[in-house]
Amino acid sequence: MRDLWPLFKQLGQKTQQEQSTTLRRIFPEGKNFVLAFSASKETFPETRQNFLASLAAHPELKFRLAKEFWLGGEKIYELYEVIRSSR
């Protein structure tokens, strides 16, 4: 388990090539999981925005929202499954 919010917070400021290199390191081939705060619980909104934008911009990464965690009627966390295909 690694805490990568600082990396994702800055990811939007990197070039496309730097982003691709970073994402290859974070998401090796196969299945990976990411636990993120829900949008209403974020301290640094650009972290979540950059995470979701980077997944959308890299078709080799397939992702889905796997589970939501709620407490007292509020969504606190989201668990994403991210798969890097071998192709």
> What per-residue string of b and e applies to 46-77 under the rule 16 or more CB within 10 Å gives b?
bbbbbbeebbeebeebebeeeeeeeeeeeeee
Residue of higher predicted confidence among 85 and 30: 30
Average the pLDDT over 50-78 and give the result.
Answer: 95
Q: Distance between CA 43 and CA 22 in Å, rounded?
A: 22
Q: pLDDT by residue (tens digit) across 21-48?
A: 999 999 999 999 999 999 999 999 899 9
Q: What is the pTM of this model?
A: 0.87
pLDDT exceeds cutoff 90 at 1: no
pLDDT exceeds cutoff 80 at 53: yes
Q: Express as a percent the part of the chain with pLDDT over 70.
A: 99
Q: How many domains does the chain have?
A: 1
What pLDDT does 85 receive?
Answer: 83
Domain of 43 in residue numbering reads as 5-84
